Structure 1
Amino acid sequence: MGVCFSTIKVSGSNSNNNVNHNRKEATKQQTKTTKATAPTRKKQEVVDHQQNNKNVNNEEEKKLKVKEKQGSKAIPCGKRTDFGYDKDFGMRYTIGKLLGHGQFGYTYVATDKANGDRVAVKRIEKNKMILPIAVEDVKREVKILRELTGHENVVQFYNALEDDSYVYIVMELCEGGELLDRILSKKDSRYTEKDAAVVVRQMLKVAAQCHLHGLVHRDMKPENFLFKSTKEDTPLKATDFGLSDFIKPGRKFQDIVGSAYYVAPEVLKRKSGPESDVWSIGVITYILLCGRRPFWDKTEDGIFKEVLKNKPDFRRKPWPTISTSARDFVNKLLVKDPRARLTAAQALSHPWVREGGSASEIPIDISVLSNMRQFVKYSRLKQFALRALASTINEEELADLKDQFDAIDVDKNGAISLEEMRQVVFSLSNL
């Protein structure tokens, strides 16, 4: 219409008629255009309406998925699981002082209300069992303790109970202290090869019993062995079967578990079996005889390289004063090829470790206890630091870390390999 008015003004004649004519033509054209585009507009409005509905539905679906995800996070797998254990813990036991704690639970002294006996209770929080695998770990630990109950060198299992918040594993109370603490507490500092052999024999008996049941302990270390009482002839008891698992003949474990100092070469190669327990006992024996670790570095990766490549040092003091039989025993346990390593049953027959065997009763060099004391202090400091770090992380942050770990752990074997970490670094560098 602007163009029409401009033309009219320029022509100067019959202006009104021209204006009216042009207005009529414009009106006709507009009406025609409107009639032609009405169905198209209507159709477009329907499409737009459908698209809007689709967007709304997509948003609703997204919100629903987020709610479902949040709901599943809010209720961990352990909280939703009925373990099938007795539900009357509070009626049967009274919890006392704290003994120690791990990743999922705390261990307390408790009293049996029926007879007044003192027991140890491992209380595991259901809220911390986020994934089904955590639930299976608890069930497996209870099953293993039931299988091994009755063995003189395994902590006795009494009962498993539960309530809405916790699973309770009731066990024999061992009040004689940890293995290395007991050795270091000797008042006259009289510590001999025979003392070490008595301890090692009991550990081998546990390993042999586990292997007989198709079990691998997978975390043999001094901290997991406690003395029953403070008496001189009290038995040594194996505890903490949280990493233990059943293994079928001819099969191998592919996950890397255990403590860095005691881990066997085949564990690092993801092809481990019962032989790894014997390696760990070999490492403990080495420490018992000289007070130092056979494989050491400032980092875990460094320790792993030492385990895979190097041999233990038998030249440094006090090894020249240790008996040939003791050195031979340790050498046969710390064989890198698990097929050439002694089994637990074979090791029990070695002259140095067997009852009435060749282990010397002459006191070991005083430097051994000094070395051992430094080793224990370092281990305790490391444990304290890790616990202090863990105590600063709340449940939400812990769950977030768990999610991040699961995202990096592509093969879902419970450990992050060097290759998996490389992939993460590569992905981040490309952002």
Structure 2
Amino acid sequence: MGLCFSSPKATRHGTNHPNPNPPPDIPKPQSQGKGREKVCNQNKKKTKNNKTQWRHVGGTLFGKRIDFGYARDFDNRYTIGKLLGHGQFGFTYAATDNNNEDRVAVKRIDKAKMTQPIEIEDVKREVKILQALGGHENVVGFHNVFEDKNYVYIVMELCEGGELLDRILSKKDSRYTEKDAAVVVRQMLKVAAECHLRGLVHRDMKPENFLFKSTEENSSLKATDFGLSDFIKPGMKFQDIVGSAYYVAPEVLKRRSGPESDVWSIGVITYILLCGRRPFWDKTQNGIFNEVMRKKPDFETTPWPTISDGAKDFVKKLLVKEPRARLTAAQALSHSWVREGGEASEIPIDISVLENMRQFVKFSRLKQIALKALATTIDEDELDDLRDQFDAIDIDKNGSISLEEMRQALAKDLPWKLKDARVAEILQAIDSNTDGLVDFTEFVVATLHVNQLEEHDSDKWEQRSRAAFEKFDVDRDGFITPEELRLQTGLKGSIEPLLEEADVDKDGRISIHEFRRLLRSASLKPRTVKSPPGYQLSRKM
């Protein structure tokens, strides 16, 4: 099946590696060390017929020699071999370590083409990211970085198994079996979850950016090309549009994106793995974007009727257009379709669970009580992802989370630097029975994903939220009065201050609509990150 995965993309820097023998209609880059064309406003001009042309600006930065401070003995350490790929900013080669004869990949970046400060920062950031993630089993290994007066040399693990895209195209009908697809998707999700814990968003997850370590059928998969990746501060959102059109998330196009956009991209890849075609397609970039924003993926056309309900449920929950209602990477790893052998295997801590716990302490007492009522309406078999998270935090497996275990879990979300007093405050807020520990029931109350409950099954949400509401509405008149609230909660003193958050129409009572609004509401709203200079929506060169 002829599939065109390559597309116009929003980019900052890197190198393109054209494949000398791509399949028909599939423009493809080489496997190792790919990158991208950079486009900036100062490099474009309008012609008479109003078409846009791009020009490249060469030279050194402000006439100064660029010095990164990296080691300068590359030639003594490595011997360059065959060319793997090349592009605007440099070349990627196979090389040999002179000390032990190990084969590596070397990405050589030309300093002469770094004409803007953002290009220097891009190189520094990519090295920093590779250093941070280099120990992960599904990220291409980082060995070292060097420079001389002309080039920067990034030395990485050599992956000789080719791109995931090549494997897809080699399959019958360009499709994976469900079992094999789950193995691939699980490895991508592990990368995303690790990135997100480190406050990093990949921002360009697609089949071309995953390489197989070897040509063996069961070879491990490695994420590569972090040229568009960036760190994001807690509570912030990116405002720039980056990525590859077929895999870009709706919120990226709305210029309010975060880690959730990586999960959307993995959802698109999963859809392709299972059926051999893209969920969103058009002949133009704007047409693709319109599809992404408005269209729902097709799960009716062949081969979807023969694909399991579990697989379809998994993909649908990754391709939810509302990012807050989308599964996180760690949640997706707990989904029954993708679990290895039906068991959770090394599930990473979920950043959204940690965020929900940090938020819970800021919620009003009324909202905490309402969430507790909602938690009682959820069946045990619907809490697999939260059970996995609880078990991951409960290090000694005694069925409860101690203050030290809570501290260790919250510390895994690296962008956050919580003081011990803050951790104790969070545990105290969640610990409703005041025994100094958090049991699973208390954990569920604090970590429920309310937006997901509503998005994934709106009818069940209506039933659940009403059932929670009726735990307070004793006389079933459709309102919660101060007297009913006092009776059901055991709270003493004035109830009126509690009602203020939920009682929107100020009639002194809470309706079902106000109760649902209370459950949906969040204490904090994310801020936005303005695009750094040089972030532009590029055109295919």
Q: Shared topology, TM-score over 0.5? A: yes
> What displacement does 1:193 show?
0.4
The match for 1:110 is 95
Structure 1: how far apart are the matches of 2:282 and 2:181? Answer: 25
> What displacement does 1:415 show?
1.9
Letter in 1 for 2:305: P
Structure 2: how far apart are the matches of 1:190 and 1:337? Answer: 28
Q: Does 1:270 align with 2:270?
A: no
The match for 2:149 is 164
**Structure 1 pair 78/157, CA: closer, same or farther in 2 (3 Å)?**
farther
Structure 2: how far apart are the matches of 1:188 and 1:258? Answer: 26
The match for 1:329 is 314
User: In the TM superposition, what are the counterparts of 1:42-81 in structure 2 within 5 Å?
Assistant: 74-76=59-61, 80-81=65-66
Alignment partner for residue 175 of structure 1, among 140, 157, 160?
Answer: 160
> What displacement does 1:74 show?
4.3
The match for 1:203 is 188
> Is the CA contact (8 Å cut-off) linking 1:99 and 1:107 kept in structure 2?
yes
Alignment partner for residue 213 of structure 2, among 214, 228, 232?
Answer: 228
> What displacement does 1:245 show?
0.5
Structure 2: how far apart are the matches of 1:286 and 1:133? Answer: 35
> What displacement does 1:75 show?
2.8
Structure 2: how far apart are the matches of 1:137 and 1:247? Answer: 15
Name the SS for the 2:267 alignment partner.
helix
Alignment partner for residue 257 of structure 1, among 237, 242, 254?
Answer: 242
> Is the CA contact (8 Å cut-off) linking 2:84 and 2:92 kept in structure 1?
yes
> What displacement does 1:242 show?
0.6
The match for 1:136 is 121
Identity of aligned residues (%): 79
> Is the CA contact (8 Å cut-off) linking 2:212 and 2:221 kept in structure 1?
yes
Structure 1: how far apart are the matches of 2:80 and 2:64? Answer: 22
Letter in 2 for 1:88: D
Structure 1: how far apart are the matches of 2:143 and 2:173? Answer: 37
> Is the CA contact (8 Å cut-off) linking 2:241 and 2:537 kept in structure 1?
no
Structure 1: how far apart are the matches of 2:130 and 2:325? Answer: 30
> What displacement does 1:95 show?
0.9
Gaps of 5+ in 2: 1-56, 344-530
Name the SS for the 2:61 alignment partner.
coil
> Is the CA contact (8 Å cut-off) linking 2:263 and 2:328 kept in structure 1?
yes
> Is the CA contact (8 Å cut-off) linking 2:176 and 2:274 kept in structure 1?
no
Q: TM-score, normalised by structure 2?
A: 0.52
- Cα deviations across residues 28-49 of structure 1 (Å, max 9, x unaligned)? xxxxxxxxxxxxxxxxxxxxxx
> Is the CA contact (8 Å cut-off) linking 2:174 and 2:276 kept in structure 1?
no
**Structure 1 pair 143/74, CA: closer, same or farther in 2 (3 Å)?**
closer
> What displacement does 1:128 show?
1.1
> What displacement does 1:96 show?
1.0
Structure 2: how far apart are the matches of 1:81 and 1:273? Answer: 32
Alignment partner for residue 304 of structure 1, among 284, 289, 296?
Answer: 289
- Between 126-135 and 189-198, report the one with greater CA deviation: 189-198
Alignment partner for residue 133 of structure 2, among 121, 127, 148?
Answer: 148
- Cα deviations across residues 231-275 of structure 1 (Å, max 9, x unaligned)? 232210000001101001100011111100000000011100000
Q: Does 1:126 align with 2:247?
A: no
Name the SS for the 2:186 alignment partner.
helix
Q: TM-score, normalised by structure 1?
A: 0.65
**Structure 1 pair 137/413, CA: closer, same or farther in 2 (3 Å)?**
closer
Letter in 2 for 1:243: L
Structure 2: how far apart are the matches of 1:120 and 1:86? Answer: 17
> Is the CA contact (8 Å cut-off) linking 2:58 and 2:112 kept in structure 1?
no
> What displacement does 1:185 show?
3.9
**Structure 1 pair 90/348, CA: closer, same or farther in 2 (3 Å)?**
same
Q: Is the helix fraction higher in 1 or 2? A: 1
Alignment partner for residue 295 of structure 1, among 275, 280, 284?
Answer: 280
Structure 2: how far apart are the matches of 1:199 and 1:162? Answer: 35
Letter in 2 for 1:216: V
> What displacement does 1:80 show?
2.2
Letter in 1 for 2:217: E
Structure 1: how far apart are the matches of 2:178 and 2:185? Answer: 10
Structure 1: how far apart are the matches of 2:295 and 2:172? Answer: 36
Q: Does 1:320 align with 2:305?
A: yes
**Structure 1 pair 139/224, CA: closer, same or farther in 2 (3 Å)?**
same
Gaps of 5+ in 1: 1-71, 359-409, 418-431
The match for 1:382 is none
Structure 1: how far apart are the matches of 2:144 and 2:177? Answer: 38
> Is the CA contact (8 Å cut-off) linking 2:281 and 2:288 kept in structure 1?
yes
The match for 1:351 is 336
Q: RMSD between aligned alpha carbons?
A: 2.4
Name the SS for the 2:324 alignment partner.
coil
> Is the CA contact (8 Å cut-off) linking 1:279 and 1:333 kept in structure 2?
yes
Letter in 2 for 1:322: I
- Between 224-233 and 144-153, report the one with greater CA deviation: 224-233
> What displacement does 1:285 show?
0.3
> What displacement does 1:106 show?
1.5
Structure 1: how far apart are the matches of 2:212 and 2:62? Answer: 35
> Is the CA contact (8 Å cut-off) linking 1:85 and 1:161 kept in structure 2?
yes
Name the SS for the 1:280 alignment partner.
helix
> Is the CA contact (8 Å cut-off) linking 2:168 and 2:273 kept in structure 1?
no
Letter in 2 for 1:121: V
The match for 1:214 is 199
Letter in 1 for 2:325: A
**Structure 1 pair 115/77, CA: closer, same or farther in 2 (3 Å)?**
farther
Q: Which has the higher contact order (CA 8 A, sep 6+)?
A: 2
Letter in 2 for 1:174: C
Name the SS for the 1:339 alignment partner.
helix
> What displacement does 1:357 show?
3.2
Structure 1: how far apart are the matches of 2:110 and 2:258? Answer: 30
Structure 1: how far apart are the matches of 2:117 and 2:244? Answer: 24
Name the SS for the 2:195 alignment partner.
helix
Structure 2: how far apart are the matches of 1:175 and 1:74? Answer: 34
Structure 2: how far apart are the matches of 1:348 and 1:77? Answer: 48
User: In the TM superposition, what are the counterparts of 1:390-429 in structure 2 within 5 Å?
Assistant: 412=533, 414-415=535-536
> What displacement does 1:111 show?
0.7
**Structure 1 pair 78/350, CA: closer, same or farther in 2 (3 Å)?**
farther
Alignment partner for residue 101 of structure 1, among 86, 89, 99?
Answer: 86
Structure 2: how far apart are the matches of 1:86 and 1:160? Answer: 7
Name the SS for the 2:323 alignment partner.
coil
**Structure 1 pair 187/282, CA: closer, same or farther in 2 (3 Å)?**
closer
> Is the CA contact (8 Å cut-off) linking 1:296 and 1:306 kept in structure 2?
yes
User: In the TM superposition, what are the counterparts of 1:176-195 in structure 2 within 5 Å?
Assistant: 176-185=161-170, 191-195=176-180
> Is the CA contact (8 Å cut-off) linking 1:159 and 1:170 kept in structure 2?
yes
**Stretches of 4+ moved more than 2 A in 1?**
72-80, 182-191, 410-413
> Is the CA contact (8 Å cut-off) linking 1:78 and 1:131 kept in structure 2?
no
